Amino acid sequence: MTAAATRTAAEPDAEALVSAHLAMLAGSYLTEVIAGPGRARYAFSAGIPDVTMNFAVGLGTGGIGWLEETARARGRAPAFLAEGEAALSWLPGARAYAARWMVAAAAPVTRDDLALAGLGLRLTDGPAPDESFLAVFGACHDGGPIDAHVARHYVPVLAVAQPVAGVTTRHAVVFDGQDPVACATLHITGPLAGLYNVGTWHTRQRGGIGLKLTRRLVAEAARLGASHVFLQCAAGTHLERLYGRAGFRTTFSPLLVCREGARDDH
């Protein structure tokens, strides 16, 4: 781990987080997880081309050939999670993106900040979210090319998500009156909850709705029996700061190493 990542004994380690992540997305974004040499695994998404959904974990230097072959056979650029910049030399022509895997203790809240702000919350169970959720999720980035990319690749995959054994899924939509304005997904497996798809309608951002929703879902995770909630975001962004305000802290700081030219708009 880098100096930016610290973990207490009670918090899940990197291996537990990655394994939970792969399990939670198996019914939606991830089409399959392919076993490789040693402890290597390759996560593949047939519907989403981005390197964040098509990457290897547990890879050593001897697995690079396997990674390149596995990715090429599926029309994907080679990418893998690594700890430390030395891994950049494993893949010729590679670049790296720093990620933050952040963890918070699941705990109840003493007040409902969404309700205090005059906002409503609807929670629904099941792998596929409803139309209100999909409408927000497809419009919570820039109102332009990134949203178009999400609408083209992510929304159709989410709309037909399938159940995964051992994983409970709860989708959240925030309403201002009749208008959906924010969304998020909570996946739970064992003692861990994963927070995904957090977004606020692009014209309603910077108003604190995402922070209020995040805190509310940390409490929901506690109510459902989880001990910790985790999420991922890019390092050094406003999202990292927002999640810090919600009680999350970085425990794992991997690099996503990918070949030059790999594309990820989300």
Whether 255 and 81 have beta carbons less than 8 Å apart is answered as: yes
Rounded to 5 degrees, what are φ and ψ at 137?
Answer: -60, -30
Q: Which two tokens mark 265?
A: 């708009």
Rounded Cα distance, 222 and 227, in Å: 6
Rounded Cα distance, 264 and 261, in Å: 10
What's the CA angle centered on 87, arms 196 and 153, to 5 degrees?
30
Full pLDDT tens readout for the chain, 266 residues: 444 577 666 889 999 999 999 999 999 999 999 999 999 999 999 999 999 999 999 999 899 999 999 999 999 999 999 998 889 999 988 999 999 999 999 999 989 999 999 999 999 999 999 999 999 999 998 889 999 999 999 999 999 999 999 999 999 999 999 999 999 999 999 999 999 999 999 999 989 999 999 999 999 999 999 999 999 999 999 999 999 999 999 999 999 999 865 444 43
Whether 91 and 78 have beta carbons less than 8 Å apart is answered as: yes
Whether 23 and 192 have beta carbons less than 8 Å apart is answered as: no
Specify the pTM.
Answer: 0.93
Rounded to 5 degrees, what are φ and ψ at 62?
Answer: -75, -10
Torsion sign over Cα 101, 77, 151, 186: negative
